[in-house]
Chain A
Amino acid sequence: LGPRWLPVPLAAVMDSLIIQERLVEKLLSPRAQAQRSHPGKLKDHEKQYVGFATLPNQVHRKSVKKGFDFTLMVAGESGLGKSTLVNSLFLTDLYKDRKLLNAEERINQTVEIVKHTVDIEEKGVKLKLTIVDTPGFGDAVNNTECWKPITDYIDQQFEQYFRDESGLNRKNIQDNRVHCCLYFISPFGHGLRPVDVEFMKALHEKVNIVPLIAKADCLIPSEIRKLKERIREEIDKFGIKVYQFPECDSDEDEEFKQQDRELKESAPFAVIGSNTVVEAKGQRVRGRLYPWGIVEVENQAHCDFVKLRNMLIRTHMHDLKDVTCDVHYENYRAQCIQQMTSKLTQDNRIESPIPILPLPTPDTETEKLIKMKDEEVTPFPAYAPLVLKLEPEE
């Protein structure tokens, strides 16, 4: 795909684009064009300059026009401040009409999957944000396999994408795959609880898990440090693969590298959310007002909210999507194909002219179309075959 371009803050996209556009204009200006038609008159530096360095920005510009989409899942016991945090992160009020169930109603509740979609625009850049909520997780008396509805949902999105990708109308594929899962760990425990470990192990190979310490304002700094250490140890001990921040390039400036180091050392982030504005030191800030002081959500000495927001939105959003596509989705796809091939060899089908679809019975309409298309096209040897040729097992 083109050369890797640096991740830029969402809102600063337009600024950098304007600069690049001006450069492109300069290159393509009538004067420059005129000069090019008379090669002898080209100055030295313009002789070497071809102009494809602007390719990333062209890609960039096109995708900005198309808009971005991002699907974020939030999971954790109820009452850990998930909704408040989501509202704080994206400066919205997604949960206005939510009705909370009381304890008796929750006794027989099963885990649900609830989606909220919101379109956010900032400085001309559009983001279609989908939040996938998981009410009921971990709340029951018996929480055995309470993560199953969640893993099923993620698999369904992969399956949907797989089908679309293998299908005919690929121009308008809707990507509903979950790009990131914020998992809320209770600050009241001494580390991970059994349900936390089981959940993360069930999901770590399907989605990028970013563990968070919720409601961090009930902990003093030494407790936060201890808890983070404990959680990191337990994540290692249980072999949980949480989302790893990528290494920054060696040619980054020192400030960026320092920020990156701090980011990695602060994981898991201890966060606080708030939708209320309070007055602190003559300024109006997002925070929580206690009799003993004011907690400021955006104060880095109080919590890691800013780090989380920067990571999620301003620096790593694209990487999260990449890892989802390149790693989690590919794993799913490979597993799926493997299952299909093993099923087919079981059924003794030697050669399948139909491209492998995840559903064992694609509808006849599509099957006909596919057969028609297959008979038209001769596969190019240079490309990977669309069709799987199976040798009979000896």
Chain B
Amino acid sequence: PCAGPVESKNEAAMSELVPEPRQKPAVPMKPMGINANLLGYIGIDTIIEQMRKKTMKTGFDFNIMVVGQSGLGKSTLVNTLFKSQVSRKSSGWNREEKIPKTVEIKAIGHVIEEGGVKMKLTVIDTPGFGDQINNENCWEPIEKYINEQYEKFLKEEVNIARKKRIPDTRVHCCLYFISPTGHSLRPLDLEFMKHLSKVVNIIPVIAKADTMTLEEKTEFKQRVRKELEVNGIEFYPQKEFDEDLEDKTENDKIRQDSMPFAVVGSDKEYQVNGKRVLGRKTPWGIIEVENLTHCEFALLRDFVIRTHLQDLKEVTHNIHYETYRAKRLNDNGGLPPMTAETEESHESNL
């Protein structure tokens, strides 16, 4: 199902997705003077415009995974992020279902369109994570799934007759939901992030942040950041992948001040000061999801969608996937992996 917001609203939003297009038209204008070279304008910069047009036509894939105990608002948050009913919650999943005994991986795809740009969004949910009495190794099915997607891509890449555009099912971003206890991370959180930060981009978020006052939030975030640092957990944006100074300063600020984002999600609208806003109505006030003084949802959304979306994909492709590929090639003695059994098992997984 398609969900498409109104065109006019999105010209502004779209321009934030892609670098600002120059006012010059796609086709280079003929220079006014006789000697074209002397005027110095060749038109190389129009390549950006050409790329943009192409992206708009082909659209792009984005795969986001959500991990956390049940009830932390994962589905609601994803719906809020993409302003559409894209999560498992809205796809006919019955809330009355029991918690699964083992972690399941449920991927649901939607195509959403904004400003002429099509995004094939896949939300990967992990029901059952952290809900059992014994949660040992409950991250294993998740790690397995992520590696399977890398394997699929790798197989496609080494094919003799490759598809022009390899379908990308690799997980670009994993939102890890931290329970807002106000104390510190839980042992399970540490275990998960230690194992998975090496294979996928993890963005930790503090769920249901409306349960903490401002001071509690600040203290909790500080403590969580410190714990992550002490345990050597590199969450996205990873320090080692900052490309230049500009990136570094921008990402440092995010890493040291804003993350982990303390978020609140909602798919209901209320009237506040004459405007309709997404929020939660309590007996003591209305919590506005997009109000930065209430919670950091807007920061998370801008970070994941408006500024770092492409980077998330690039890091996944250039770093995590390459690490996997290198390991596979090494294990295989430098030869590409193409055994009949791996092919079969992947067929059945599809």
Contact = CB atoms under 8 A, between A and B. Distances in A.
Contact of A103 (B69, B99, B180, B184): B184
A194 B131 contact: yes
A292 B135 CA distance: 37
Interface in A183-225: 186-190, 193-195, 198, 215, 217-218, 220-221
A290 B213 contact: yes
A77 B131 CA distance: 13
B185 A103 contact: yes
Given A100-B184, A104-B231, A198-B133, A290 B179 contact: no
A102 B222 CA distance: 13
A140 B190 CA distance: 11
B293 interface: yes
A79 B181 contact: yes
Nearest to B228: A103
B227 A289 contact: no
Contact of A217 (B136, B182, B281, B282): B282
Given A79-B179, A188-B69, A289-B213, A218 B184 contact: no
A293 interface: yes
Contact of A292 (B73, B131, B184, B294): B294
A79 B286 contact: no
A294 to B, nearest CB: 6
A298 interface: no
A104 B230 contact: yes
Interface in A102-146: 102-104, 106-107, 139-144, 146
B282 A141 contact: no
B207 interface: yes
B274 interface: no
Of the candidates B136, B214, B283, the one having the most CB atoms from chain A within 10 angstroms of its own CB is B283
A77 B72 CA distance: 15
B92 interface: no
A102 B227 contact: yes
A189 B70 contact: yes
A140 B95 CA distance: 27
Contact of A301 (B99, B182, B283): B283
Interface in A171-185: none
30 contacts: A78-B181, A78-B183, A79-B180, A101-B184, A102-B223, A103-B186, A103-B190, A104-B227, A106-B187, A107-B191, A140-B187, A141-B134, A142-B133, A142-B135, A144-B134, A146-B133, A188-B69, A188-B72, A188-B180, A189-B71, A190-B71, A193-B99, A194-B131, A194-B132, A215-B211, A218-B180, A218-B211, A290-B213, A292-B288, A294-B284
Contact of B284 (A140, A194, A218, A292): A292
A302 interface: yes
A77 B287 CA distance: 26
Interface residues of B, number: 48
Nearest to B279: A292
B188 to A, nearest CB: 5
B211 A104 contact: no
Given A103-B227, A141-B187, A188-B179, A193 B131 contact: yes
A292 B70 contact: no
Interface in B70-123: 70-73, 95, 99
A220 B267 CA distance: 14
B99 A221 contact: no
A328 B109 CA distance: 54
A158 B69 CA distance: 37
By size class, the interface of chain A is: 35 or more
B283 A221 contact: yes
Of the candidates B190, B291, B294, the one having the most CB atoms from chain A within 10 angstroms of its own CB is B190
> Chain A interface secondary structure, helix, strand, loop or mixed?
loop
Given A103-B189, A290-B213, A302-B284, A190 B293 contact: no
Nearest to A222: B281
Interface of A: 77-81, 100-104, 106-107, 139-144, 146, 186-190, 193-195, 198, 215, 217-218, 220-221, 288-296, 301-302
Contacts of A139: 186-187
A141 B183 contact: no
A242 B70 CA distance: 24
Nearest to A188: B71
A188 B208 contact: yes
Contacts of B183: 78-79, 100
A354 B306 CA distance: 82
A293 B187 contact: no
Shortest Cβ-Cβ A-B pairs, 5 listed: A79-B181, A293-B285, A218-B211, A293-B284, A292-B285
A190 B285 contact: no
Given A77-B181, A146-B133, A221-B282, 16 more contacts: A100-B184, A102-B184, A103-B186, A104-B227, A141-B188, A186-B71, A188-B71, A188-B208, A194-B131, A194-B133, A215-B211, A217-B210, A218-B208, A291-B214, A292-B285, A293-B282
Interface in B241-282: 280-282
A86 B69 CA distance: 27
Contacts of B132: 194
Nearest to A101: B184
A105 to B, nearest CB: 9
Contacts of A293: 282, 284-285
Contacts of B283: 221, 301-302
Contact of A106 (B71, B136, B186): B186
A142 B286 contact: no
A292 B286 contact: yes
Contact of A143 (B70, B99, B134, B287): B134
Contacts of A217: 210-211, 282
Contacts of B294: 291-292
A195 B187 contact: no
Contacts of B184: 100-103
Contacts of B73: 188
A160 to B, nearest CB: 30
A102 B224 CA distance: 9
Given A79-B181, A293-B282, A141 B288 contact: no
Of the candidates A143, A144, A188, A220, the one having the most CB atoms from chain B within 10 angstroms of its own CB is A188
A297 to B, nearest CB: 11
